[in-house]
Structure 1
């Protein structure tokens, strides 16, 4: 750990518990696909340690914005078949990076960009088979939450439309350097069989986002910006709040209003 200084501006909190690191990697290797793996923010390589030279992985690519981490990893794995990129994951062309092949993602995600990472995953959902990651516990719980729960929100619906999501375990602050002020949670996303939602997907996103932006209000009020006719908004579903609707219910709602926007 002495070789890389955790940087607050990058949201770095280095995991130092190898048992937890191994469990995170095992959760990924439990999936059937792991021929290509992209690790986001490898830091000092605590997860990488369990993936380098692993016969389940054909290609391991690590991407990090911290030059100090990159230099450390290049020395640590100088004789290993790994690819270490000094780059911003959010700006990477993932299609080109893996030459059109499918891949899995793993990482201890920086808390401050975790939502942006998931939106990029959604943009590449037909190539990303699995994601196993650690992030702020509240965000992890929100993503895995089901309808009717106060934690259920925009990312819950958008991700669950395309991925089966499991909350795996909670990680305490003291196993990090430096310790964060919150607990962390590890979740696993596995691509489901959905290739077509059966609705206008851009409108689906718009409806979901609008519904949760005013989550305390009924959908009748939350979706006023869509200027829907009364013949539509008098339907029973508009008496509900966004958090009460499942993914399928949001799809049905999207189809209901499609011809009116």
Structure 2
């Protein structure tokens, strides 16, 4: 058997009905190439290996889990990448889908890596802590709408699929979890640059209680700051409005 490692944020999914529901969620956007992130004990893996006409790979950093997976699911031998997802290059040529019960301590970093790979990632179905999932999916005007909401939704449509209770895992986490689907935006947004977007959004939400005029005044000319839009607070701006503002920055 394998051992659980808190340092890797491991909470292994054990509820078979949740596993099947996650796999079923992949069917809305079928893919010929599929990457599982953090297979752990193989709860999802055993179902993913059964999918037909799929080039399937899994990436796992933990030595113990790699050995366990190879012994328990021999079919994964040639498909298992023993590496950190955050350090690897895209595992396929062309478009692919990402799925996983993402390690909670690096789940945001995983999303940012998927954003980097957006030219190839055609969909993502992932498990997160519920509060993280809610932030990623939040729309403007929502109190949890923030930096990760805007940076993710600039490139992806984010859909909150369903809750997952603590009892679905071993060991049970202290918080609820949630499953998201991310797909490339149907209407792509243009930004002046990724760097400008990051600086703008980070600066705006660092002082989210202030009006934009006060929060981001260092990024715009006095003339630009006269626009009534700057009377609003960061959480009141849509993702599209943030994207447009990047073209008006100094």
For the criterion TM > 0.5, the same-fold answer is: yes
Matches within 5 A, 1:15-164: 15-32=13-30, 34-55=31-52, 57-79=53-75, 83-94=79-90, 97-98=91-92, 100-164=93-157
Q: Work out whether 1:189 is the aligned partner of 2:182.
A: yes
Q: Work out whether 1:244 is the aligned partner of 2:236.
A: yes
**Aligned-pair CA distance for 1:255:** 2.1
Structure 2: distance between partners of 1:4 and 1:225? 52
8 Å contact kept, 1:162–1:193: no
Stretches (4+) displaced over 2 A: 79-82, 192-196, 198-202
The normalised TM-score by structure 2 is 0.95
8 Å contact kept, 1:162–1:194: no
Paired residue secondary structure (2:203): helix
Q: CA RMSD in A?
A: 1.6
The normalised TM-score by structure 1 is 0.91
Q: Give deviations 1:130-159, integer Å, cap 9, x for gaps.
A: 110001000000111100001111111111
8 Å contact kept, 2:154–2:243: no
Specify the alignment match of 2:167 in structure 1.
174
**Aligned-pair CA distance for 1:218:** 1.2
**Aligned-pair CA distance for 1:48:** 1.0
Paired residue secondary structure (2:223): helix
8 Å contact kept, 2:212–2:231: yes
C-alpha spacing 1:82/1:54, structure 2 compared with 1 (3 Å): farther
Unaligned runs of 5+ in 2: none
Unaligned runs of 5+ in 1: none
Q: Work out whether 1:234 is the aligned partner of 2:235.
A: no
**Aligned-pair CA distance for 1:102:** 1.1
Structure 1: distance between partners of 2:121 and 2:188? 13
Q: Give deviations 1:76-117, integer Å, cap 9, x for gaps.
A: 2224575111100000011xx21x311110011111111111
C-alpha spacing 1:85/1:78, structure 2 compared with 1 (3 Å): same
8 Å contact kept, 1:59–1:82: no
Structure 1: distance between partners of 2:76 and 2:85? 22
